[in-house]
A and B are shown apart, each in its own frame.
Chain A
Amino acid sequence: MIRQTLRFAAIALWALLSACGSDTPPPDAAATAQTRKIERDGYAFEVGPVPAWVVAADIPPQWDADAPGAGDSRWRNWLFDRQADRRRGVRARYSDVAFEPVSAELVGDAGKYTIGFNPEYQRLVIHSAELRRDGAWSNRLDTGRITLARRETDFEADMATGVVSALIVFDDVRAGDVVRLRYSIVGENPVLGGSDSEVATFAWSDPILERRVRVLFDRDADVFEWRSPQIAPAQVARDGDAQEWKYVQRKIEGLHDEGGYPRWYSPYAQVRLAERRSWGEVATWAQSLYPQPQALPPDLELRLAQWRAIEPLDARVAAVLTAVQEDVRYFGVEIGDSTHKPAEPALTWTRRYGDCKDKARLLATLLQRLGVEAYPALVSSRNGKAIAQWPPGADAFDHVIVQVRLPDATLWLDPTQTLQRGPLRAIPVSELGVALPLAPGTKDLATVARPAQARDRIAVVERYAPAAAGREVVLTVRTDNEGTAADRARRDLKAQGREALQRRFVEYYRRRYGEVRETAALDVEDDEAANRFSTIERYTLVDPWESASPGERAIETWGDSLNQEVALPNTVERKTPLALRYPVEVEQRAELVVPEGWHWQGEDGESTLDDVAAEFTSRTETKSGEIVRTQLYRAKTPVVGVDDVAAHLRWRRQVHDSLGRRWRFALSPADADRERDRRLQGLLRGLIDENAGAAKRAKP
């Protein structure tokens, strides 16, 4: 009888909800009715029940015996449940996280949980905070232990984002407890105009027992899904006004992050969902944030007049680029509208700072005023070309550069860079892959190609000239940096200062050779037109020789410039692709003047170590009393594929092992015998004295 009554009640409730039709209140309205707002430290959060649209998950009593982490994992994630409601343009995102610090060492981490939200357009609603110990759940929601603070974690990266962190502290957490927190964040940045996506990751550094993702769209929404192949397809259902996409994955292994990936690769399996829209629509949305600029200030108009006089066109564009890069400091205030809407060019110029979109808009505006077709272009500095597969959306991008359409070429310029010099057409941007130019008629992403003339080359010549007598060696080091390498070296000099740079250089040689005297200040030559930046160092090495035997001496040289290209990554046994710096060419030459009376104990030779991703050659030759060893590294591709990684890393090890070389010089046999006798006699005399001294000290 009781069972029948309940069944009728359920039917009645269903009938009532069905009858509501389009008058159904917004998804979180039911929750809002019972929520309590708590203000703290100038910000606010709410406490309330789980919204009605959420399908709550259960936490099982036991961790499955066959699930990863059943043994002695340090941290176990029992549940990651993420649900989102996007119906009728609303954005409500519910999270249910439950985790267990298995190791006592990590109890501290489990007792603190941080949730970031932006109070300008988002509300944080905390539903529950619970803890399970010995099988029993207890309520741990103590609003007095929740603090809110604006934490500009990106401040050091010259950005202010306006994000507030809610820090929830759980007291008395012990190893083996399960901590569970349920909360929702309601709202989305209005500047996005609804062109955002739902993103969920299906792997973490520690094992996950169950990962659930559920997204509600409007019933008739055309949904665009992108999913990593390792994630099982969604269960899609239509119910009432909702189209539901649901993913459940269980027993997920902890992921070992190998690092060193190419920009477009992520080891974390992911799903991305959004209402279907085109890149053209995203471009149209973005263009609305870049309206016709207001009048420019007089001083900038004056500069425009000066730039207009510069010929040829490339030089004119380069001059403007340098001004925007170096006269306007990079600093971002990414709050509210400013997250995606750039400042007025006049303001950016006047205050002399701006973030990427401010600077890109300024550069594009100035170039347009000079009659050059130029547009801001949205890119992903974090994910590169991977975004091309994703649901088109505003949230795919995190950076803005400028597309310049010259009559005979398309250039991509990054106004946030500094100290880029050389021919305009040789100036590269990073390996961004694709961009969305905010030009009229843009329908799709465009490929960002690296300029054919762009170079990244370092050539080092170390010249060792031993003094005629004694053991001193005069060392001269000339380093020529070209292209991107010159930009880096120039920035290095500016950032560190000449004195610190010189100190760093000389310390390197001191570590290698012991006592080193600097015989001249660091010389710098900067040919900005050719983008060649050179340094010249001059030292005297007091006694760099190793005496292998009385008639022999040796000095070691090391191809350190090539070292960073062939050093092994942190994870050597890889299952993921490895990024290379590309295109990079590094040449290091050691020139050794053979000391008078000695001869070199070695032979000329040449060897090449080739690999699918890079090549290395080493050549040793003698000419007119000098030995010259030239080592050359050249990257052939920006990425080493998984299948080639093992061979490539073996190649790196082989190259690394051959970077060092000991040069041995010998006296004639008779001279060597005399030298040996002299040293042996010296040794014995010294020991006799030491033995006698020790015996004397030992006597009472």
Chain B
Amino acid sequence: MTRRRLAAFAFAVLSAAARADEPQHRDEAIGALWTQTFAQGDYDKIVRTYGDAALALGEGSGVDPALCKKHKARIDAAAQTNPVGIGVWRVAWRCAEADGEAGLAAQRRRRFEALVRHAFESVPPDAGRTPIRVLDEGDVAAVIAESGLDAIDLYYDTGRNWRYLELVVTLLDKEAGIERRLVFDVLDARMRLKRDRADAKFPTGRNDLAEALLKHGHESGSIAATRLLQTRQMLNARGTKFDMPIDVAVRDNNKVAIYTFAAMCTTSRENLECGTRHVDALLPYAEGRFSPALVWLAQAYRSGIGVPRDDNAARVLLDAADRRAGGVTGRLLLAQVLRRRGGETFELPAVLRGPIEAAARRGDLAAQLALVDAANTPAQTARWSALQRDAAKRAAEAGSAAGQYAWSLRLSAERRDDEAAGWLRRAAANDETRAQAALAQHYLRGEANGDDLKRAAHWYARAAHGGDRAAMLWLGRQALAQPDYAEAKGWFESGASSGNADAKVELATLLLYGKGSIPRDHQRAVALLRDVVDDPARTQARVDLAELLRFGVDVEHDAAEAERLLRLPTTPRDDAGVQFALAALLIDDPTTPARQAEGVALLRRAATTNDRAKIRLAARLWNGRGVERDRAAAEKLWLPLVEKGDLYAINEYAWALCASDDDAIVDGRKGLAVFKKNSADGPLPPAFQDTLAACQAAAGDYDDAVQTQIHALETMKASFPGEKATIAAFDARVALYKSRQRYREKPKAP
């Protein structure tokens, strides 16, 4: 439906109530109210207004005069609190009318009409791709109630994008025999209303809010929310038989689940066991002339799934669907799903292509977009037909964001770069996610300066809210480089919840160590890593997960699982990280000498390239554990790393110098000098403080040693309260230094 037609429809919806001789609220005024609401409105209070307004609703969608009277104060207050709530103002209007307050009722009715008109007219001309902005399902119910038309469908779209939670309403114009499809969105407005709240900054907050809205909707009796949850349950049952979920969908008249089920049965490449169930489920709705049912029955005939293949029957059904839904809407629905299943090389089948192209030539914006919006690169647009090129241009000029993006790609292919950039900017400004990501990438090309980075971050942030996973990852990594760990976590959380494996690994790494204000969370890190380790390319994730399971700090120790991960056939054996992790596992296992030997061999191999392996190998050489003692070789491995300020090397070398049982090699002063090579900022972890205290004691600085060791003990208790043995050892060393003795580590068995 075009913008003009939507607005006309809005008027038609309200014409029964509107009186021509009364001045209308000017739309700029309503726009200002929205701006004011977004800037100052209290989220919780505004949400509550819908509950207050609903108090006056009786059976059906009308207000109950007795309830209006009873809850008058709350309804009045709701209208005051929520100046843009269509549902709230409708109840306020109808209640004033029921109460005989004609003047007030007229005033409120005008506000209601202005709000609806503004909602419809604010939608950009993009064939219904941008939903109508509302704050609550109650707003939608109010529009339906006042339209005087039958709502034959009301459902949340299963294939939702991140920016919106689309509530689809199909109204039936009985006189014309035509369906009117309207798409509303609550999510974007709710997010904007949240403004500065922490959970509104990142896309994951958008996702969480969508889930919360659906859950709350389901619990409050929203049929649309319940149906979406049911449909998801059905989708989760993929791979098994559909019997149970589709039975529930049929029982509950859940048309969206039935249509989704039918679409999956007739277009999926998987061999689903649908039998004739989808045909049986569709048939009553097709008999009722519901356009989606006609479309999916047509696809059943096209594919020969559930009924014998019959292209003529498919054409009859599609013609009927188009007639019922207007234009070529039925065919466009089928084209959209087939394209999603068919990938980039998808070609429209003849039964769809002819009528869609004809509609595009007639200027049907939806048809024009259908011909061009699969393109994602200039190269794809270079292969366009003249009709497609013309369609993109006309859609772009009509103001469609998707059209502007497609047209910018085509102009780029034609080397008209300046024009292409202009259209790209327009598309991005109109919230076309792909354009926003492309624009961000554009700013990062070449030598991006500070301003470019800011612009890129701006467009990536907007794209991230539209669900662009690469944008989320980039923003997280940028924040990590600052470093702003809280910010990084927000973006990685978003990426992780969108299913992005890189974001999961980044988030796991952040939680592994705990950075800045982000507390360590090994359990979550393990869960995130488990999600990605099946991917053979995720070697580092496997190593990290194996290490976490080996150490067993805050998570259950599971050496067997750690070893399984490291020995998976797809884990590269020549990776030094893998070798080191496996070596550490085997060396730690004192039960079998053969495993220890394999561990040492792996450690030697890893030490050729891996610094941590070098440090561990040097410690074994220094103490003669599992290898022949060779302190010179050990120092040769340690010293270059110590000079580089490697904290682990410093710790191991200093410990060797300060905590040995052998007085001949103990050199506290040298140990302290080694410690000064430490280049790390911030407080030392407790194990390093423990080493420093050992060196202070070895150098005879017992008072310092006591202070340092107490600090180490407190830090240990606070950070790793579960590490009781280590805490006891630290405590014992405090007592030792107080008695002015240095610490002597007993030699371990080789």
Binding site for B on A (CB under 8 A): 71-72, 74-75, 103-106, 205, 546-552, 554, 570, 653, 662, 664, 673, 676, 679-680, 683-684, 687-688, 690-691, 694
Q: Which B residues touch A664, using CB under 8 A?
A: 251
Interface residues of B in 247-284 (CB under 8 A from A): 250-251, 276-277, 279-281, 283-284
Q: Which residue of B lies closest to A601 (CB)?
A: B247
The one of A75, A548, A691, A694 that contacts B250, using a Cβ cutoff of 8 Å: A548
Q: Which B residues touch A71, using CB under 8 A?
A: 42
**Cβ of B540 < 8 Å from any Cβ of A?**
no
A74 to B48, CA, bound (A): 14
A353 to B77, CA, bound (A): 44
**Cβ of B81 < 8 Å from any Cβ of A?**
yes
The one of B77, B80, B276, B323 that contacts A691, using a Cβ cutoff of 8 Å: B323
Q: Which A residues touch B42, using CB under 8 A?
A: 71-72
In the complex with contacts A103-B76, A676-B276, A74-B81 CB distance below 8 A: yes
A-B contact number at CB 8 A:
77
**Cβ of B286 < 8 Å from any Cβ of A?**
yes
**Cβ of B287 < 8 Å from any Cβ of A?**
yes
Q: Which A residues touch B281, using CB under 8 A?
A: 548-549
In the complex with contacts A103-B80, A105-B79, A684-B316, A551-B323 CB distance below 8 A: no
B307 engages A680 (CB within 8 Å): yes
In the complex with contacts A653-B219, A691-B316, A570-B276 CB distance below 8 A: no
Interface residues of B in 311-370 (CB under 8 A from A): 313, 316-317, 319-320, 323
A679 to B280, CA, bound (A): 10
The 9 closest A-B pairs by CB, nearest first: A549-B280, A74-B77, A103-B80, A687-B320, A105-B76, A548-B250, A662-B251, A691-B319, A687-B316
A75 to B76, CA, bound (A): 11
B81 engages A72 (CB within 8 Å): yes
**Cβ of B73 < 8 Å from any Cβ of A?**
yes
Chain B interface, number of residues (Cβ within 8 angstroms)? 29
The one of A570, A679, A690 that contacts B320, using a Cβ cutoff of 8 Å: A690
A570 to B81, CA, bound (A): 21
A205 to B52, CA, bound (A): 14
Q: Which B residues touch A690, using CB under 8 A?
A: 320, 323
A684 engages B280 (CB within 8 Å): no
**Cβ of B55 < 8 Å from any Cβ of A?**
yes
A547 engages B80 (CB within 8 Å): no
Q: Which B residues touch A106, using CB under 8 A?
A: 73, 76-77, 80
Q: Which B residues touch A684, using CB under 8 A?
A: 313, 316-317
Q: Which residue of B lies closest to A685 (CB)?
A: B316
> 16 pairs across A/B with beta carbons < 8 Å?
A74-B73, A74-B77, A75-B73, A103-B76, A103-B80, A105-B77, A548-B284, A549-B276, A550-B283, A570-B55, A679-B287, A680-B283, A680-B307, A690-B323, A691-B319, A694-B323
Taking A684-B313, A688-B316, A690-B320 as given, write out 6 further A-B residue pairs in contact, using a Cβ cutoff of 8 Å, ordered by the A residue number: A74-B81, A75-B73, A205-B73, A653-B219, A662-B251, A673-B276
Q: Which A residues touch B323, using CB under 8 A?
A: 690-691, 694
A552 to B77, CA, bound (A): 51
A74 engages B283 (CB within 8 Å): no
Q: Which A residues touch B319, using CB under 8 A?
A: 687, 691
Binding site for A on B (CB under 8 A): 42, 45, 55, 73, 76-77, 79-81, 219, 250-251, 276-277, 279-281, 283-284, 286-287, 294, 307, 313, 316-317, 319-320, 323
A551 engages B280 (CB within 8 Å): yes
A550 engages B280 (CB within 8 Å): yes
Least distance between B346 CB and chain A CB atoms (Å): 27
Least distance between B713 CB and chain A CB atoms (Å): 44
A152 to B407, CA, bound (A): 75
A548 engages B76 (CB within 8 Å): no
A104 to B80, CA, bound (A): 8
Q: Which A residues touch B280, using CB under 8 A?
A: 548-552, 676
A679 engages B55 (CB within 8 Å): no
- Most A C-beta atoms less than 10 A away, residue of B76, B280, B286, B323: B280
Q: Which residue of A lies closest to B75 (CB)?
A: A105
A687 engages B317 (CB within 8 Å): yes
Q: Which residue of B lies closest to A677 (CB)?
A: B307
The one of B219, B250, B286 that contacts A683, using a Cβ cutoff of 8 Å: B286
Q: Which residue of A lies closest to B315 (CB)?
A: A691
A677 to B294, CA, bound (A): 16
A687 to B324, CA, bound (A): 11
B284 engages A547 (CB within 8 Å): yes
Q: Which A residues touch B219, using CB under 8 A?
A: 653
Q: Which B residues touch A549, using CB under 8 A?
A: 250, 276-277, 279-281, 283-284
- Most B C-beta atoms less than 10 A away, residue of A75, A664, A683: A683
A662 to B219, CA, bound (A): 21
Q: Which A residues touch B45, using CB under 8 A?
A: 72
A679 to B250, CA, bound (A): 18
A105 engages B80 (CB within 8 Å): yes
A662 to B250, CA, bound (A): 10
A106 to B284, CA, bound (A): 52
A676 engages B316 (CB within 8 Å): no
Q: Which A residues touch B294, using CB under 8 A?
A: 687
Q: Which A residues touch B279, using CB under 8 A?
A: 549, 676, 680
A521 to B323, CA, bound (A): 47
A653 to B218, CA, bound (A): 11
Q: Which residue of B lies closest to A650 (CB)?
A: B219
Least distance between B47 CB and chain A CB atoms (Å): 13
A548 to B42, CA, bound (A): 46
Least distance between B84 CB and chain A CB atoms (Å): 15
Q: Which A residues touch B287, using CB under 8 A?
A: 679, 683
A691 engages B284 (CB within 8 Å): no
Q: Which residue of A lies closest to B219 (CB)?
A: A653
In the complex with contacts A205-B73, A662-B251, A676-B320 CB distance below 8 A: no
Least distance between A602 CB and chain B CB atoms (Å): 11
Q: Which residue of A lies closest to B74 (CB)?
A: A205
Q: Which residue of B lies closest to A554 (CB)?
A: B251
Q: Which residue of B lies closest to A104 (CB)?
A: B80
Least distance between A378 CB and chain B CB atoms (Å): 30
A124 to B219, CA, bound (A): 52
A683 to B307, CA, bound (A): 14
A278 to B383, CA, bound (A): 99
A379 to B442, CA, bound (A): 82
A679 to B287, CA, bound (A): 9
A70 to B192, CA, bound (A): 24
- Most B C-beta atoms less than 10 A away, residue of A550, A662, A684: A684
A619 to B621, CA, bound (A): 77
In the complex with contacts A684-B316, A688-B316, A679-B283 CB distance below 8 A: yes
Q: Which B residues touch A679, using CB under 8 A?
A: 283, 287
Least distance between A554 CB and chain B CB atoms (Å): 7
Q: Which residue of A lies closest to B73 (CB)?
A: A205
A546 to B307, CA, bound (A): 22
Q: Which residue of B lies closest to A679 (CB)?
A: B283
Q: Which residue of A lies closest to B78 (CB)?
A: A74
A494 to B128, CA, bound (A): 57
In the complex with contacts A548-B281, A687-B320, A694-B323, A103-B286 CB distance below 8 A: no
A691 to B280, CA, bound (A): 23
Q: Which residue of B lies closest to A656 (CB)?
A: B221
Least distance between A698 CB and chain B CB atoms (Å): 10
Least distance between A552 CB and chain B CB atoms (Å): 7
- Most A C-beta atoms less than 10 A away, residue of B45, B79, B287: B287
Q: Which A residues touch B277, using CB under 8 A?
A: 549
A554 to B279, CA, bound (A): 17
A691 to B319, CA, bound (A): 7
Q: Which residue of B lies closest to A686 (CB)?
A: B287
A103 engages B276 (CB within 8 Å): no
Least distance between B734 CB and chain A CB atoms (Å): 48
Q: Which B residues touch A683, using CB under 8 A?
A: 283, 286-287
B307 engages A74 (CB within 8 Å): no
Q: Which B residues touch A691, using CB under 8 A?
A: 316, 319-320, 323
Q: Which residue of B lies closest to A688 (CB)?
A: B316
A103 engages B316 (CB within 8 Å): no
Q: Which A residues touch B250, using CB under 8 A?
A: 548-549
